[in-house]
């Protein structure tokens, strides 16, 4: 198996650096061979730039992929949006020779060439396939006695034909990873539904997009959980910052802590909430943090 290069994207390093720290701490602690992909740019975001111009979207994605090809490493993404762009662009360019040549003409201008020699991985998919819930369980130092609402996010699962992770209607692999940490993954209505942020909707039509988030938040609240666990910093932002935005618009407070899986994993591996940047969220929930710190 090839080693990995860590692709950060935009939202993780520039808005939720706690997720970057959690990812780095967990990878090191689990002895996963991964280096940082230096000089990478925006993936570029699928909902925005794929919508605006396919060639520019492909060319920028290709440059990011080439940086990792030059290292002989697969790319590890920690974001559903980055995964969507890089995995789709990688496949499209591997399959379509004419398109690959067109993109390579642009890349020639910066002295690079897309070869199609690596794969794109998502940390959830990677951990499940390569270590499995049991393998993860072996690393757990602090089993988490909490109830979690898992949010898969759309682009981890779909298009399912390309992702190959099984049914998008009732997926289980992410729940299994959460349960491997001792936590309980709670079922709730509309569990696989969209957070509302993707497709450029959050950026251009924020209030509309928040109605989708609010729908999910109210379902999750009814189910009674300790936190939401996601696989994507953009869903993370929509649920975390979104709770504050919804409060401003509607006055409704949900006060549900939001964790990226790498942060939940980090807690189970023994890191403190501070080290994982959990307190850098907009929604601070001291009860949750204290419970973790006091070993429940």
Partner 1 sequence: MSEPTHDNTNLLNTMKAACRDTLRCMQCGVCSGSCPSGRHMAINIRRLVKKAARTVDVLKDEQLWMCTTCYNCQERCPRNIDIVEAVFSLRSIAVHEGIMLPEHGRVSGLLIRHGHAVPIDDERKKQRTELGLDEIPLTVQSCPEGLEEVRTLLKSCGFDRLTGDRDKSNAKTETA
Could you tell me the two tokens for 71? 């290292």
Least Cβ distance, residue 190 to partner 1 (angstroms): 8
Residue 97 in the binding site for partner 1 (CB under 8 A): no
Residue 71 in the binding site for partner 1 (CB under 8 A): no
Q: Which of 95, 141, 160, 293 binds partner 1 (CB under 8 A)?
A: 160
HSE-up (13 A, CA, CB side) for residue 110 = 14
Residue 267 in the binding site for partner 1 (CB under 8 A): no
Residue 246 in the binding site for partner 1 (CB under 8 A): no
Cα distances (angstroms) measured from residue 51 to each of 45, 82, 229: 9, 15, 28
Burial level of 251, CB count in 10 A (0-12/13-18/19+)? exposed
Residue 219 in the binding site for partner 1 (CB under 8 A): no
Q: Which of 2, 70, 117, 168 binds partner 1 (CB under 8 A)?
A: 168
Residue 107 in the binding site for partner 1 (CB under 8 A): yes
Residue 28 in the binding site for partner 1 (CB under 8 A): no
- Which span (12-20, 131-139, 219-227, 264-272) binds partner 1, by CB under 8 A? 12-20
Using an 8 Å Cβ cutoff, are 239 and 213 in contact?
yes
Residue 199 in the binding site for partner 1 (CB under 8 A): yes
d(CA 176, CA 171): 10
Q: Which of 27, 47, 229, 273 binds partner 1 (CB under 8 A)?
A: 47
Q: Which of 40, 86, 258, 283 binds partner 1 (CB under 8 A)?
A: 40
- Phi and psi angles of residue 101, each rounded to the nearest 5 degrees, phi first: -65, -40
- Which span (142-150, 195-203, 220-228, 258-266) binds partner 1, by CB under 8 A? 195-203
Residue 21 in the binding site for partner 1 (CB under 8 A): yes
* E strand or H helix at 184: strand 184-185
Closest of 30, 270, 261 to residue 130, by C-alpha: 30
Residue 189 in the binding site for partner 1 (CB under 8 A): no
Least Cβ distance, residue 128 to partner 1 (angstroms): 20
- Phi and psi angles of residue 197, each rounded to the nearest 5 degrees, phi first: -85, -30
Residue 44 in the binding site for partner 1 (CB under 8 A): yes
d(CA 20, CA 275): 11
List b or e across 19-47, with b for residues whose CB sees 16 or more CB atoms inside 10 angstroms. bbbbbebbbeebebebeebeebebbbbbb
Residue 266 in the binding site for partner 1 (CB under 8 A): no
d(CA 289, CA 105): 52
**Which stretches of the chain bind partner 1, using CB under 8 A?**
8, 10-11, 13-15, 17-18, 20-21, 24, 36, 38-42, 44-56, 59-60, 63, 106-107, 109-110, 112, 154-155, 158-160, 168, 190, 193-194, 196-201, 203-205, 208-209, 211-212, 215, 275, 277, 280
């Amino acid at each position: 198996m090839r080693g990995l290069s860590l692709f950060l994207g935009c939202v993780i390093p520039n808005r939720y650096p706690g997720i970057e720290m959690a990812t780095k701490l967990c990878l090191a602690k689990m002895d996963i061979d991964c280096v940082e992909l230096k000089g990478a740019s925006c993936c570029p975001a699928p909902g925005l730039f794929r919508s605006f111009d396919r060639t520019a979207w492909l060319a920028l994605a290709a440059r990011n992929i080439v940086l990792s090809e030059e290292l002989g490493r697969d790319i590890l993404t920690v974001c559903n949006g980055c995964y969507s762009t890089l995995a789709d662009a990688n496949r499209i360019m591997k399959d379509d020779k004419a398109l690959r040549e067109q993109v390579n003409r642009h890349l020639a201008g910066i002295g690079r060439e897309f070869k199609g020699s690596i794969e794109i991985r998502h940390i959830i998919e990677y951990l499940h396939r390569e270590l499995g819930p049991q393998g993860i369980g072996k690393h757990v130092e602090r089993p988490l006695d909490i109830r979690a609402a898992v949010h898969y996010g759309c682009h981890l699962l779909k298009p399912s034909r390309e992702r190959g992770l099984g049914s998008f209607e009732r997926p289980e692999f992410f729940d299994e990873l959460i349960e491997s940490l001792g936590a309980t993954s709670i079922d709730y209505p509309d569990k696989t539904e969209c957070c509302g942020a993707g497709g450029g909707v959050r950026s251009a039509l924020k209030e509309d997009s928040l109605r989708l988030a609010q729908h999910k938040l109210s379902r999750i609240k009814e189910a009674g959980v300790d936190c939401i666990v996601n696989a994507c910093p953009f869903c993370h932002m929509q649920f975390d910052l979104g709770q504050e935005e919804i409060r401003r618009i509607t006055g409704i407070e949900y006060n549900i802590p939001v964790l990226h899986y790498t942060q939940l994993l980090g807690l189970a591996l023994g890191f403190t909430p501070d080290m994982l940047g959990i307190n850098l969220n907009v929604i601070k929930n001291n009860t949750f943090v204290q419970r973790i710190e006091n070993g429940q």
